[in-house]
A and B are shown apart, each in its own frame.
Chain A
Amino acid sequence: MSNTLKTQLAFSVIALLLIIIGLVQSWNVSLGILNLCLISAVMALGVNMQWGYAGLLNVGVMGFAALGGMSAVLVSQAPVAEAWQASWGRLLIAALCFAATIAASIICYRILAAGRNRNLALALVIIGGLALTRFFFDPAVTAIESIEPAKTGFLGGMGLPIIFSWGFGGIVAAGIAWCIGKVALGLRADYLAIATLGISEIILAVLKNEDWLTRGVKNVTGLSRPVPYEIDLQTTTWFIDFIRWWHSGALGVLNEAEQPPALKQFVIDGSSIFVKLCYTGLFAGVLVVILLLSVKALNSPWGRMMRAIRDNEIAAGAMGKDVTRRHLQIFIIGSAVIGVAGAMLTTLDGQFTPTSYQPLRFTFLIWVMVIVGGSGNNMGSVLGGFLIWLVWIEAEPIGVWLMAFGTGWLDESNVIRIHLIENAQHMRLFFMGLVLLLVLRFSPGGILPEVVRKQGS
């Protein structure tokens, strides 16, 4: 079966599944799943760039997604004026000290000859500089966090529309990826994996603890939205008229007295579907743009070079390609895409909760998407994102239903039956692992394998 046909077939199946969910459960659920599918697909595209194009094993997806989430807070929240007033002087000095420390250590590294002396000097500069920075920084943090800790207690953000955070999230993730890449990209594949795993944990630790930045585990709730609120829609005339027109058939058969409550219910249901559709439109737009760019890039000479580096670093290096720089480049681009997806996710949630970032959900699940979908194939990653997210969400009710069905012969109050039904949701982890292993074993290219174009074809 050709890949194009397979792609069309696979996406038709997904669409069918979403429609079935819409009909059986509700359109609200179906659209909710679709939105997260779109975000997952963007994340999977980012990982696919790093792994599929360049063979870089990034197990720190969670960290970059969290950075995107953080930028949603930093862009959309209103700045807290008192906090800035109370601390700006010290913050400025601390920032200058920090910059000076970095500059001094770079100078040390450059001018001193390698050896014990340089290591010692570097250690002294870094420790001294950090101590000095903290001398100014700690009081500033105390000042910031003491201002209305129950409501704010942080610096706030820029007060811009949250949609800008999607780009900003990408930039932040790219910046951090540059720092990480500079240090870690020289490592072997498995060391790189462990290093990125560590970095994602560190990013999370920072986001959980630096209350002045993101309120830490106190969470930031009530983020602004790029789309209208349901409650506003329900009182807007054009929306009510639209719903009346849409459901005119159903409303027509009702009598005068029944019409207003029925219409009200339709408006409430319709508003939440409308909001979800707005999100779907935005996310699909981002996905399409990134997907088009990825496809273009992969088919360009640049993409060919990336694949050449992935397949044989030494040969590519001998051809004059700068392997380290290309690795750094693709690492930054891929991380930026993950950052964008992370910002989109936080925008959809409307809140930033650092504790909700779990490696299984945000790192390893994305990996399952990429491997199952087809590493090296952009459409494959998108498909993987859709399919795995669908399975991940629907495995829970199906698992519970199966357990209830399978243990139907047991008594309602049977301890084993209750335990099985209560814990059925965890079986989806087992199932995900099984899917990953089966695909890896029997179809290592994934559902939509990479298309390798041969000379002349």
Chain B
Amino acid sequence: MEAITDFVSAIVLLLNFIVVPGLSYGSQLALGALGITLVFGILRFANFAHGDTMAFGTMMTILVTWWLQSKGINLGPLPTALLALPAGIAATILLLVVTDKTVYRYYRHSKAVPVTFMIASMGVMFMTNGIVRFVIGPNDQRFLDGERFIVSARNFKSMTGLSEGLSIKVSQGLTIVVAIVLVALLFWFLQKTRTGKAMRAYSDNEDLALLSGVDPDRVVLVTWIITAILATIAGTLYGLDKSFKPFTYLQLLLPMFAAAIVGGIGNPIGAIAGGYVIAFSEVMVTYAYKKVFVYLLPQSLEPQGLLQLLSTDYKFAVSFVILVLVLLVRPTGILRGKVL
């Protein structure tokens, strides 16, 4: 009997520290990587400003959330930020459309090389970052309200009688649900609607699409709008789950790029797969497995060390090593993106 409870405890431990965080972090990365991959597929450059676009969207959402909270409006158990999201998205769409009109359009029309776009996106990154820090400051901001947990560790323990607790935060559950809904909508849009088909055609073969009467300005506009939606939602979910700090969003750029490339850049399904691959490897490599083995092995074989492959600060290294491996072994990514 004890062997079975120990086994179940080990499973719960893994669920609690690897599966749940991995799923929610992976969903956040996947949504971010989708934005990067869309911009890459349509506009054909690696957008360095994407992390700061997320920060901007989140900031606008936070500002509206605070305003709503001050008016006493809330969503009960759910975070008020959900109510503020549309406003944040609208502001981000405005930002991206304005940057496109003022910055990228010129290079698009003059047929500049992708590297020029990339350097321009560094400039946009600086400006957006400046705005975010100017408006909300460089420090941590908390805007989570409503219920904290769907299942708290204490309730889980008293319910099951196990010695290990499983906790699922509202923000984690919300992240996973929202990500599924959003991705489903995106794929429906890309596969079924006229505009979506035009986007795919444009990404696949620009000249042919233009000959077939696809309006490039419209495609680009829609791409930025979708990117804004994805970025704001991804940023807000990340902010709800962890906390909002402009600098961390800049750092998210690397795992998101890694996710997009690992999955196959320009390929939306690849971006999602890449997001989960990166997230799970980060969580798995930096988790200390000692307790799991304490449950699984007999006492005499109890492990000495923490059984942690790498310290948590190396999580960037993990996403990067995967990135390099994929680039060397399979340059098009797991799911065959395009190499322009």
Q: When the two chains form their complex, are residues A195 and B124 in contact, meaning their CB atoms are under 8 A apart?
A: no
Q: When the two chains form their complex, are residues A205 and B125 in contact, meaning their CB atoms are under 8 A apart?
A: no
Q: When the two chains form their complex, are residues B124 and A433 in contact, meaning their CB atoms are under 8 A apart?
A: yes
Q: When the two chains form their complex, are residues A202 and B126 in contact, meaning their CB atoms are under 8 A apart?
A: no
Q: Count of chain A residues with Cβ under 8 Å from any Cβ of B?
A: 46
Q: When the two chains form their complex, are residues B311 and A360 in contact, meaning their CB atoms are under 8 A apart?
A: no
B318-335 contacts to A (CB < 8 Å): 319-320, 323-324, 327-329
Q: Count of chain B residues with Cβ under 8 Å from any Cβ of A?
A: 47
Q: When the two chains form their complex, are residues B324 and A183 in contact, meaning their CB atoms are under 8 A apart?
A: yes
Docked Cα-Cα span, A311 to B317, in Å, equals 33
Tell me which of A199, A201, A427 has the highest count of chain B C-beta atoms within 10 A of its own C-beta.
A201
Docked Cα-Cα span, A138 to B314, in Å, equals 16
Q: When the two chains form their complex, are residues A430 and B127 in contact, meaning their CB atoms are under 8 A apart?
A: yes
Docked Cα-Cα span, A106 to B115, in Å, equals 34
Q: When the two chains form their complex, are residues B130 and A429 in contact, meaning their CB atoms are under 8 A apart?
A: yes
Q: When the two chains form their complex, are residues A360 and B129 in contact, meaning their CB atoms are under 8 A apart?
A: yes
Docked Cα-Cα span, A187 to B311, in Å, equals 29
Q: When the two chains form their complex, are residues B119 and A367 in contact, meaning their CB atoms are under 8 A apart?
A: yes
Chain A 166-203 interface 0/1 with B at a Cβ cutoff of 8 Å (1 = within) = 00000000000000000110011111011101110110
Contact of B138 among A371, A426, A437 (CB under 8 A): A426
Q: When the two chains form their complex, are residues B122 and A190 in contact, meaning their CB atoms are under 8 A apart?
A: no
* B260 nearest in chain A by CB position: A194
Q: When the two chains form their complex, are residues A433 and B254 in contact, meaning their CB atoms are under 8 A apart?
A: no
Q: When the two chains form their complex, are residues A190 and B114 in contact, meaning their CB atoms are under 8 A apart?
A: yes
* A216 smallest CB distance to B (angstroms): 9
Contact of A183 among B103, B137, B328 (CB under 8 A): B328
Q: When the two chains form their complex, are residues A57 and B127 in contact, meaning their CB atoms are under 8 A apart?
A: no
Q: When the two chains form their complex, are residues A427 and B134 in contact, meaning their CB atoms are under 8 A apart?
A: yes
Docked Cα-Cα span, A371 to B130, in Å, equals 19
Provide the residues of chain A in CB contact with B129, threshold 8 Å: 360, 429-430, 433
Docked Cα-Cα span, A189 to B135, in Å, equals 34
Q: When the two chains form their complex, are residues B122 and A198 in contact, meaning their CB atoms are under 8 A apart?
A: no
* A119 nearest in chain B by CB position: B329
Q: When the two chains form their complex, are residues A190 and B45 in contact, meaning their CB atoms are under 8 A apart?
A: yes
Q: Does B123 touch A at the CB level, under 8 Å?
A: yes
B residues lining the A interface (CB < 8 Å): 45-46, 103, 106, 114-116, 118-120, 122-131, 133-135, 137-138, 247, 250-251, 253-254, 257-258, 261, 305, 311, 313-314, 316-317, 319-320, 323-324, 327-329, 339
* B44 nearest in chain A by CB position: A190
Chain A 20-54 interface 0/1 with B at a Cβ cutoff of 8 Å (1 = within) = 00000000000000000000000000000000000
Q: Does A229 touch B at the CB level, under 8 Å?
A: no
Q: Does A254 touch B at the CB level, under 8 Å?
A: no
Q: Does A292 touch B at the CB level, under 8 Å?
A: no
Chain A 418-448 interface 0/1 with B at a Cβ cutoff of 8 Å (1 = within) = 0000111011111111101100110010000
Provide the residues of chain A in CB contact with B46, threshold 8 Å: 190, 193-194
* A203 nearest in chain B by CB position: B317
Contact of A189 among B114, B124, B130, B328 (CB under 8 A): B114
Provide the residues of chain B in CB contact with A350, threshold 8 Å: none
* B216 smallest CB distance to A (angstroms): 20
Q: When the two chains form their complex, are residues A437 and B258 in contact, meaning their CB atoms are under 8 A apart?
A: no
Q: Does A12 touch B at the CB level, under 8 Å?
A: no
Query: Could you list 11 A-B pairs, sorted by A, with CB under 8 Å?
Result: A183-B328, A187-B327, A194-B261, A198-B258, A208-B313, A371-B119, A426-B137, A430-B131, A432-B130, A433-B124, A433-B130
Docked Cα-Cα span, A446 to B177, in Å, equals 48
Total residue contacts A-B, CB cutoff 8 A: 130
* A439 smallest CB distance to B (angstroms): 9
Contact of A433 among B127, B253, B317, B324 (CB under 8 A): B127
Tell me which of A57, A189, A429 has the highest count of chain B C-beta atoms within 10 A of its own C-beta.
A429
Provide the residues of chain A in CB contact with B114, threshold 8 Å: 189-190
Q: Does A359 touch B at the CB level, under 8 Å?
A: yes
Provide the residues of chain B in CB contact with A427, threshold 8 Å: 130, 134
Docked Cα-Cα span, A371 to B119, in Å, equals 9
Provide the residues of chain B in CB contact with A194, threshold 8 Å: 46, 254, 257-258, 261, 323
* A110 smallest CB distance to B (angstroms): 16
A residues lining the B interface (CB < 8 Å): 55, 57, 119, 138, 183-184, 187-191, 193-195, 197-199, 201-202, 205, 208-209, 358-360, 364, 367-368, 371, 422-424, 426-434, 436-437, 440-441, 444
Provide the residues of chain A in CB contact with B253, threshold 8 Å: 197
* A190 nearest in chain B by CB position: B46
Extra contacts besides A191-B261, A194-B254, A424-B134 (14): CB < 8 Å: A119-B329, A187-B327, A189-B118, A190-B115, A190-B118, A197-B257, A209-B314, A430-B126, A432-B130, A433-B123, A433-B124, A433-B127, A436-B126, A437-B103
**Closest 4 pairs between A and B when the two form their complex, measured CB to CB:** A430-B130, A433-B126, A429-B130, A433-B127
* A191 nearest in chain B by CB position: B327
Docked Cα-Cα span, A68 to B53, in Å, equals 32
Q: Is the interface of A mostly helix, strand, loop or mixed?
A: helix
Provide the residues of chain A in CB contact with B324, threshold 8 Å: 183-184, 195, 198
Given contacts A183-B328, A190-B114, A364-B122, contact A431 B130 (CB under 8 A): yes
* A311 smallest CB distance to B (angstroms): 12
Given contacts A188-B339, A436-B122, contact A360 B250 (CB under 8 A): yes
Q: When the two chains form their complex, are residues A423 and B254 in contact, meaning their CB atoms are under 8 A apart?
A: no
Docked Cα-Cα span, A55 to B113, in Å, equals 12
* B137 smallest CB distance to A (angstroms): 6
Provide the residues of chain A in CB contact with B127, threshold 8 Å: 429-430, 433-434, 437
Tell me which of B120, B251, B327 has the highest count of chain A C-beta atoms within 10 A of its own C-beta.
B327
* B111 smallest CB distance to A (angstroms): 14
Given contacts A184-B324, A360-B126, A364-B125, contact A423 B118 (CB under 8 A): no
* B133 smallest CB distance to A (angstroms): 4
Tell me which of B45, B130, B251, B313 has the highest count of chain A C-beta atoms within 10 A of its own C-beta.
B130
Provide the residues of chain B in CB contact with A184, threshold 8 Å: 324
Provide the residues of chain A in CB contact with B131, threshold 8 Å: 430
Given contacts A194-B257, A423-B137, contact A441 B106 (CB under 8 A): yes
Contact of B316 among A119, A189, A202 (CB under 8 A): A202
Q: When the two chains form their complex, are residues A440 and B320 in contact, meaning their CB atoms are under 8 A apart?
A: no
Provide the residues of chain B in CB contact with A434, threshold 8 Å: 123, 127
* A370 nearest in chain B by CB position: B119
Docked Cα-Cα span, A188 to B106, in Å, equals 24
* A457 smallest CB distance to B (angstroms): 27
* B116 smallest CB distance to A (angstroms): 7
Docked Cα-Cα span, A189 to B253, in Å, equals 17
Given contacts A202-B320, A209-B314, contact A193 B118 (CB under 8 A): yes
Q: When the two chains form their complex, are residues A205 and B133 in contact, meaning their CB atoms are under 8 A apart?
A: no
Docked Cα-Cα span, A434 to B253, in Å, equals 21
Docked Cα-Cα span, A66 to B145, in Å, equals 40
Docked Cα-Cα span, A417 to B194, in Å, equals 49
Docked Cα-Cα span, A57 to B114, in Å, equals 12
* A367 nearest in chain B by CB position: B122
Provide the residues of chain B in CB contact with A430, threshold 8 Å: 126-127, 129-131, 134
